[in-house]
Structure 1
Amino acid sequence: MTQTLSLAPFKSKLCSSLTKSKIKVLQINLGKRCNLACIHCHVEAGPKRTEELSPEVCQQLIQVIQTFPEIEIVDLTGGAPEMNYGFKPLVQAARNVGKKVIVRSNLVIYFESEFAYLPDFFAQHQLHVVASLPCYISDNVDKMRGSGVFDASIRALQWLNRLGYGKAPNLILDLVFNPQLPVSEEKFSLPPDQGKLEQTYKMFLQEHFGIVFNHLFTIANLPVGRSAGYLQRQKLYTPYLKFLESNFNASTVEHLMCRSELSVDYLGNVYDCDFNQMMNLPAKTRNDEVINITKILEAGTLDLIDEIQTAPYCYGCTAGSGSSCGGALVEE
């Protein structure tokens, strides 16, 4: 990774320090257990991973959810968040105090016998489902996520539609697009125009499968986790970072997801975003102390972070139209 020193430091692109705004989102990574092992997964989750939330950290997170009214959204991710300890208690605690809950679902988990209850559970608690479908073409999805995943994803989306998802105003179903990982420098690309691609997805899925959904989020592949490993094996890691740097868009900075969220791992450590979490770059106080859930509860405030921690992969969130857990940050 020392090759990245040839890049301009991300901070040099900013007019001022990158600071937090009002915290609205508590994003919780419940663990690395997953029934898939996608080649682009920045979490490096999979069926053989065992790391997950503990009961003690789960109770602390419930306390945070109940204590801080400024948290509007509890965003549950993983791994497959549904497979990891604490999923149901966190959902119920958040909904009981009126928080919106996002579950980042791989869809195919519903066909594991132990998890067949999930679609009904989602609808009962009016969870906002954000589902990975990195392409509307079968071969592309299966190459990224595993053989048969596209067909299972289609059946899962039809299941959610039958329950009212994508139709009822309180049952929101959003999909996520990721570009294919590049095979050469000539194949480097940013996500296409989000609005136009959303219309293409909607027409194709409606025509071929009768599927409806609310929104499409386009998310760039950041060089983190398995994506980073792939790029390094292909000797594309540094060229890809340079490509992202060359497409830096200053207008995305004020909309970055790291500004209004706290990201928490299964151990209770706090980060500015999920990518920093995977790269073990913890959030810090103005006194340069790392932050965890215990410190937040003791301090009685979410506002312990003075400056957001940055790294070269931040160029991935600020290239082109920008990229976040909610898709593009600005219109093209």
Structure 2
Amino acid sequence: MQTISITPFKNKLNSPLTKKGITVLQINLGKRCNLACTHCHVEASPKRTEELSPEICQQLIELIHKFPEIKIVDLTGGAPEMNYGFKPLVEAARATNKQVIVRSNLTIYFVDGFGDLPEYFAQHQLRIVASMPCYLADNVDKMRGYGVFDHSIQALQWLNKLGYGKEPNLILDLVYNPQLPTSEKFSLAPEQTNLERDYKMFLQEHFGIIFNHLFTITNLPVGRTRMHLERKKLYASYLQFLESHFNNDTIDHLMCRDQLSIDYLGNVYDCDFNQMINLPAKTVNDETLTVTKLLETGSLDLINEIQTAPYCYGCTAGCGSSCGGALI
């Protein structure tokens, strides 16, 4: 085990990291997925069976109806579409005029039983945020599995035919993740605007694909990314690299400031990464927070201070990183 010599994240800040008003509810429906990507911080795979229960699903639907301040319901996994409760949550959120984001791996549309998804997404005007860690086939297949690139291209062409990337209510965004490092020659994600231009030119020229935005997301040392770094004996040095690129200007824009992250058991976290290491959100009274407690108190504003960990440097390095890409 490597010795980690970095500044505790909260000591880097000028003041405690606190919540703003909650506007985003991010729900991880479970760990079931048709892929097992090498960089997955959730450690999802076809072998995982953890997923939302009917009881927690009903509580989440009640939460969506109860709090009009929630503007966005962000559904993730695993492949969120494979896990219990996906369509009921979509329909509850759309019925209350909230934007729904589905974090899709694109290849799920070619799995038996899920071929209706593109049309379903278009019908309900879901915003699709799709994993596309590179526009080159070899790099994508190396990270996500053989044949994933070809299926992803077919899926994007399918979505374009339905109006995604073209019609204003059918938004299609792609996500770039850097390749996992194999040496201490670390680098941050390329500048988002320039990389988006390169993606758009390449995908349009070679495949006739168009999309709205590209999000560059740093690989945080959590889940399989952490396992990879530890195998290569790079975990400590990667954290130190991220700390050395800390940018205080990102703090005001961090995704944990205005969102709650909910797991398939109904526990509440400040972000999806904290969820994966079981670092729960805490109330003002230092109690762990659940969906049940949110409903009982009738408030989303129960968190005193956001829980932090060393990997928070990944969200604050350079231009920053979030589920919506670069922060500044």
Report the TM range for the smaller structure's normalisation: over 0.9
Q: 1:203 aligns to what?
A: 201
The one-character-per-residue Cα deviations of 1:109-149 (angstroms, maximum 9, x if unpaired) are 00012000000000000000000000000000000000000
Q: 2:150 aligns to what?
A: 151
Following TM superposition, by how much is the alpha carbon of 1:169 offset from its aligned partner in structure 2, in angstroms? 0.3
2-side partners of 1:124 and 1:27: how far apart? 21
2:252 is equivalent to residue 254 of structure 1: yes
1-side partners of 2:294 and 2:283: how far apart? 11
2-side partners of 1:302 and 1:142: how far apart? 40
Unaligned ranges ≥5, structure 1 = none
Aligned length: 328
Q: 1:179 aligns to what?
A: 178
Following TM superposition, by how much is the alpha carbon of 1:251 offset from its aligned partner in structure 2, in angstroms? 0.1
The one-character-per-residue Cα deviations of 1:27-66 (angstroms, maximum 9, x if unpaired) are 0000000000000000000000000000000000000000
2:31 is equivalent to residue 19 of structure 1: no
2-side partners of 1:169 and 1:48: how far apart? 37
The 3-state SS of whatever aligns with 2:196 is helix
Opposite residue 67 of structure 2, the aligned amino acid is F
2:314 is equivalent to residue 298 of structure 1: no
Following TM superposition, by how much is the alpha carbon of 1:287 offset from its aligned partner in structure 2, in angstroms? 1.1
Given the alignment, which residue of 305, 314, 318 partners 1:316? 314
Opposite residue 29 of structure 2, the aligned amino acid is L
2:3 is equivalent to residue 3 of structure 1: yes
Q: 1:284 aligns to what?
A: 282
* Structure 2 contact 184–237 (Cα < 8 Å) conserved: yes
The 3-state SS of whatever aligns with 1:3 is coil
1-side partners of 2:317 and 2:277: how far apart? 20
TM-score normalised by structure 2 residue count = 0.99
Following TM superposition, by how much is the alpha carbon of 1:273 offset from its aligned partner in structure 2, in angstroms? 0.1
- Where in structure 1 do 4 or more consecutive aligned residues deviate above 2 Å? 1-4
2:130 is equivalent to residue 131 of structure 1: yes
The one-character-per-residue Cα deviations of 1:298-319 (angstroms, maximum 9, x if unpaired) are 0000000010000000000000
Q: How high is the sequence identity, in percent, across the aligned residues?
A: 75
The 3-state SS of whatever aligns with 1:175 is strand
The 3-state SS of whatever aligns with 1:113 is coil
1-side partners of 2:133 and 2:2: how far apart? 31
Opposite residue 44 of structure 1, the aligned amino acid is E
Opposite residue 248 of structure 1, the aligned amino acid is F
Given the alignment, which residue of 220, 224, 227 partners 1:226? 224
1-side partners of 2:20 and 2:110: how far apart? 40
The 3-state SS of whatever aligns with 1:115 is coil
**Alignment map for 1:25-174 (pairs within 5 Å):** 25-174=24-173
The one-character-per-residue Cα deviations of 1:129-181 (angstroms, maximum 9, x if unpaired) are 00000000000000000000000000000000000000000000000000000
Opposite residue 226 of structure 1, the aligned amino acid is R
Opposite residue 139 of structure 1, the aligned amino acid is D
* Structure 2 contact 218–321 (Cα < 8 Å) conserved: yes
Unaligned ranges ≥5, structure 2 = none
2-side partners of 1:236 and 1:93: how far apart? 44
Following TM superposition, by how much is the alpha carbon of 1:2 offset from its aligned partner in structure 2, in angstroms? 7.2
* Structure 2 contact 32–50 (Cα < 8 Å) conserved: yes
Opposite residue 312 of structure 1, the aligned amino acid is P
* Structure 2 contact 2–235 (Cα < 8 Å) conserved: no
Q: 1:217 aligns to what?
A: 215
2-side partners of 1:94 and 1:285: how far apart? 26
Opposite residue 106 of structure 1, the aligned amino acid is N
1-side partners of 2:73 and 2:99: how far apart? 6
Opposite residue 269 of structure 2, the aligned amino acid is Y
2-side partners of 1:53 and 1:2: how far apart? 36
Opposite residue 59 of structure 1, the aligned amino acid is Q
2-side partners of 1:98 and 1:201: how far apart? 32
Following TM superposition, by how much is the alpha carbon of 1:286 offset from its aligned partner in structure 2, in angstroms? 1.4
2-side partners of 1:120 and 1:304: how far apart? 38
2-side partners of 1:230 and 1:128: how far apart? 31
Following TM superposition, by how much is the alpha carbon of 1:3 offset from its aligned partner in structure 2, in angstroms? 2.6
* Structure 2 contact 28–262 (Cα < 8 Å) conserved: yes
2-side partners of 1:8 and 1:113: how far apart? 48
The one-character-per-residue Cα deviations of 1:195-215 (angstroms, maximum 9, x if unpaired) are 000000000000000000000
Measured on the aligned residues, the alpha-carbon RMSD in Å equals: 0.7
2-side partners of 1:83 and 1:195: how far apart? 32
